[in-house]
Structure 1
Amino acid sequence: MKKHVLTFVVAAMLIVSCSVSKDARAKRNLLSGTWTLNDISYENASGNFKSVIFNDADDICFEGSEWYFRDNNSTGRYTIAPSTLCNGGDRYIRWSVVEREENYTSQLQFKLIDEKNKDISGGLGYRLNISNLTENEMTLKSNATVDGKVVNVVYSFTKKS
């Protein structure tokens, strides 16, 4: 009997420790839907910047891109419009919201997958700090190093649906 109780307690602790916090769940619900990435800017730096975002395309290619987050299975995509500078098309992602305890910030993390939800990035992914998230606007930030100095890359979104 004691063995069964101990097994139940251990199982319950695992379930609770792996569950998503209320804050992360609320952010997942807000993220769900279609967003437009309106602008990419750089904080803590001056001058003109050109960067490759997510090992995919130049920053200019991402401006105007459409991002879709499906919260029931944590998949989605971003779509870059084709142009002479940009290899357009859909890029599929698996995403989640992570709560960071050390500085109490939430992060959007994602990795690239194929149309059949299989990992194509060898387990590598990206984390962006959620700076602002409302029903209609989202601001994400990531850090990059330029000439030994930290620069914040700022992604500004508006929600479409």
Structure 2
Amino acid sequence: MKNSFLLLGLTALLLVSCSITKSVRDQRNLISGSWTLDDITFENNEGTFKAVLFNDADAICFEGSNWFFRDNNSTGRYTIKGGSLCSGGDRFIRWSVVERAENYSGQLKFKFIDEKLKDVSGGIGYSLNIAQLTAQQMTLKSNVTVDGEPVTIVYQFSKI
């Protein structure tokens, strides 16, 4: 009898610890769907930057890219248009939203997977701060260092 109560208590604790907050659930629901990455800018530093984003392609290649987030299994993809500077095609991702305090409502995290949903990044992922999120607009920011100086990369998305 005691073992049954102990098992029931541990199961309840496990379920509570694995649940997500209402804030994270709301953000996931807003992110779910198709987006276009309209613009990438750089803040907190002057000059012209040539940046390779997500260890994948130059920033210019991401402008106009299409992003899709499926919230029921936390998978998605982004598609870059091919061109003389850009290797086009789909990149598959597994994504999540986590709460974050530091002046942002949350963080969008993702890592690369293959078509069979297997991790291809060796556990390495990317974190983007959610600066603004509405049903039609999303602004994400990531902080990097260039020549020892902080730079914030700003990603402006619109819902398709």
Identity of aligned residues (%): 64
Q: Between Structure 1 and Structure 2, how many residues are aligned? A: 160
1:64 aligns with 2:64: yes
SS at match of 2:28: helix
In structure 2, give the amino acid aligned to 1:50: K
Alignment of 1:5-154 (within 5 A): 5-100=5-100, 105-154=105-154
Structure 1: tracts of 5 or more residues without a match: none
Distance 2:61 2:104 in 1: 32
Shift in alpha-carbon separation, 1:88–1:114, aligned structure 2, 3 A: same
- Give deviations 1:67-125, integer Å, cap 9, x for gaps: 00011111110000000000000000011111135766410011001111111101111
Given that residues 104 and 129 in structure 2 are in contact (C-alpha distance below 8 angstroms), is that contact kept between their aligned partners in structure 1?
Answer: no
TM-score (norm 1): 0.95
The CA RMSD over aligned residues, in Å, is 1.2
In structure 2, give the amino acid aligned to 1:2: K
Structure 2: tracts of 5 or more residues without a match: none
Distance 2:78 2:93 in 1: 8
Given that residues 94 and 112 in structure 2 are in contact (C-alpha distance below 8 angstroms), is that contact kept between their aligned partners in structure 1?
Answer: yes
